[in-house]
Structure 1
């Protein structure tokens, strides 16, 4: 009987703790860049701070055919942008910026224009050091520029 209670308690703890992982990643300053009619790509930006080491392994949204974590950087005199392979490392307690000039969420094959003063749903998928996956659902405001600090 004791072992059955232990198994039930262990299963319950695993079930409850898995969804909580996403709560260990704080998201601040999230926004997506507004588009004009016919524009098929845009970006989403934010700051991620993980309480424990984890990785951002995927992004999804119904407003784009493709959503990926990209890195923009200079290689000599050429600016390059490419998808991050294997996920973006989020070291414990260190803020990682997703910004227009570095790592960012690339939204491609947009299904509709991203209009200023609206929001879009965005799902972030994380994987911890043990390989446990979790998701964080966001409603990201659409703007023409980054929001001012301290303002929603």
Structure 2
């Protein structure tokens, strides 16, 4: 009787053991931070994130800044407003999410020193599911989007 019970116990234990959680991966591309303006200790950083599975960018940190936040730009009552995304930025599976001038971006505040073109800034990106990613952003001016014929003038 005990010989029959032993395989049942092993199967029951195996069913209760959680399956290992494989962390999602997030690809990071096109990373840059703007140079600071004279007398300012804030700047914006831009990049593109592509998550393997649904995820969320929940926070950013940098040794170059006292505070780093994920910001959203939107028009409210005819005014452009910038607000922190306190719940983070959703990253739908397989869809590139761009943080770009005039839209969502990373805001570095209380910079430890001015940033000049050619400098590098270390950023640590934290996600809801994926492991933290450390990246280095080059300091440069973002490319200006070309105007379409419909918007020229």
Which of 1 and 2 has greater Rg? 2
Q: Is the 8 A contact 1:58 1:124 kept in 2?
A: yes
The alpha-carbon deviation at position 43 of structure 1 amounts to 0.5
Larger proportion of strand: 1
RMSD: 2.6
Deviations 1:79-127 (A, max 9, x none): 1101002111000001111011111000111110111111110000001
CA contact (8 A) 1:97 1:103 kept: yes
Q: What's 2:136 paired with? A: 139
Deviation at 1:147, TM superposition (A): 9.3
Answer yes or no: is the 8 Å Cα contact 1:31–1:147 preserved in 2. Answer: no
- Structure 2: give runs of 5+ residues left out of the alignment: 1-9, 146-153
Q: Where in structure 2 are the equivalents of 1:2-151 lying within 5 Å?
A: 17-18=22-23, 21=24, 24-128=25-129, 134-146=131-143
| Structure number having the greater helix percentage | 1
Measured against aligned partners, the alpha-carbon deviations of 1:21-58 in whole angstroms (never above 9, x if no partner) come to 4xx11111110001134211100001111011100000
Instruction: Name the CA distance, whole Å, in 2 between partners of 1:44 and 1:36.
Output: 14
The whole-number CA distance in structure 1 between the counterparts of 2:123 and 2:144 is 18
TM-score where L is the length of structure 1? 0.78
Distance 1:59 1:146 in 2: 23
TM-score by length of 2: 0.77
| CA shift digits 1:115-148 (9 cap, x unpaired) | 11111100000012xxxx6200001100022499
